[in-house]
A = this chain, B = another copy of it.
């Protein structure tokens, strides 16, 4: 059950100042008031939050953990509450854009550079992440808009669909790959569900469902208890681990194009066409874009729709 929230605020100050007296002074209350509130919180949670030494409070493990929960919220609240009344507005000149990691790294600096040559007073904050974090950031107003990987099935985003507008722009194909060595020792032409189910997998932690999506797409079955031997927060490291022969992983076709051509990694194909991942422009539906946002958005879309970029992402399997 949730504790009294005002006591969490008192706890935050006690932990930060490491003193009941200092907290009392900071909150313009008496020392016994603070002492008693801390005790009541400990009673609610049924665990001591501090070890009392002479003139000193040492946080217990539970105290540490509670502080880690409470601190980000209170800091953020302090930052944001003064502006709670102001309309959603962007600081003049700054654009906050998101994109999928690899795509963003490849193209966004270039787009921004070209745009800045046209409009030198524009500045950028860029975030390259997977879909869910980017969508969360759009919703929270951290990002103005983002290019987002939206998987083939639109139903994957049910709870978000009402507040975003989604404009599809580009298709990426997602393929399961492993190294040549691993293929010859472990797969050897047997692309069956049963064989694949028994192998080792490497996943991208920001995209935990990609493997199950791949199995579902290709076999219409749920892959349970996959042996995931490594989780990474870097796509490049994932490719690197795949090339080392540590197992199988799902990769974006255009990002392993060269490796496939060189025979360093092998795609695992089935009778189904490759799983498709749509890159879309996502923004808050009710948001009124600034002129800067609109201009860069249109600029970026135009650049992306040139034939050379589209051709880059078409992979027709083996």
The complex places the Cα of A125 from the Cα of B238 at a distance, in Å, of 12
Q: Contact partner of A77 among B2, B84, B231, CB < 8 A?
A: B2
Number of identical protomers: 2
Which chain B residues border A110 with CB–CB below 8 Å?
A: 240, 244
**Contact pick for A126, options B70, B126, B232, CB 8 Å:** B232
One of A59-67, A190-198, A252-260, A298-306 contacting the partner:
A59-67
Q: Which residues of B contact A125 (CB under 8 A)?
A: 205, 230-231
For A76, A106, A116, A230, which residue has the most chain B Cβ atoms within 10 angstroms?
A230
Q: Which residues of B contact A78 (CB under 8 A)?
A: 2
Whether, in the assembled complex, A246 has its beta carbon less than 8 Å from a beta carbon of chain B, the answer is: yes
Rounded to whole Å, the gap between the CB of A75 and the closest CB of chain B is 11
Contact status B128-A234, CB under 8 Å = yes
Q: Identify which of B9, B73, B237 contacts A109 (C-beta below 8 A).
A: B237
Least CB distance, A243 to chain B, in whole angstroms: 9
Instruction: Tell whether A126 pairs with B62 under 8 Å between CB atoms, given A109-B237, A113-B246.
Output: no
- What residues of chain B lie closer than 8 Å to A57, measured between beta carbons? none
The smallest beta-carbon distance between A18 and chain B, in angstroms, is 12
The A69-113 residues at the B interface (CB cut-off 8 A) are 69-70, 72-74, 76-78, 80-81, 84-85, 87-88, 101, 104-106, 108-110, 112-113
Determine the distance from Cα of A77 to Cα of B12 in the docked complex, in whole angstroms.
Answer: 14
A241 interface residue per 8 A CB criterion: yes
Within 8 A of B (CB), among A42-65: 45-47, 61-62, 64-65
C-alpha gap A126/B206 in the complex (Å): 12
Q: Distance (Å) between the CB of A9 and the closest chain B CB? A: 5
In the complex the two chains form, is B245's CB within 8 Å of A105's CB?
no
Q: Does A233 contact B (CB under 8 A)?
A: yes
Chain A, residues 134-147, CB within 8 Å of chain B (1/0): the string is: 00000111000000
CA distance A126 to B231 in the complex (A): 6
> Once bound together, how far apart are the Cα atoms of A55 and B47, in whole Å?
42
The residue on B at minimum CB distance from A123 is B229
B69 touches A85 (CB 8 A): no
Contacts of A236 in B (CB 8 A): 105
Quick check: A6 and B5 within 8 Å, CB to CB?
yes
Decide if B65 touches A233 in the complex (CB within 8 Å): no
Could you say which residues of chain B place their CB within 8 Å of the CB of A68? 139-141
Sample of 11 more A-B contacts, CB < 8 Å, known A45-B81, A123-B231: A2-B77, A61-B87, A65-B88, A68-B141, A69-B77, A70-B73, A101-B234, A113-B244, A124-B231, A126-B234, A126-B237
Q: What are 10 A-B pairs with beta-carbon distances under 8 A?
A: A65-B140, A69-B80, A104-B234, A104-B237, A109-B230, A109-B232, A112-B246, A113-B246, A116-B229, A126-B233
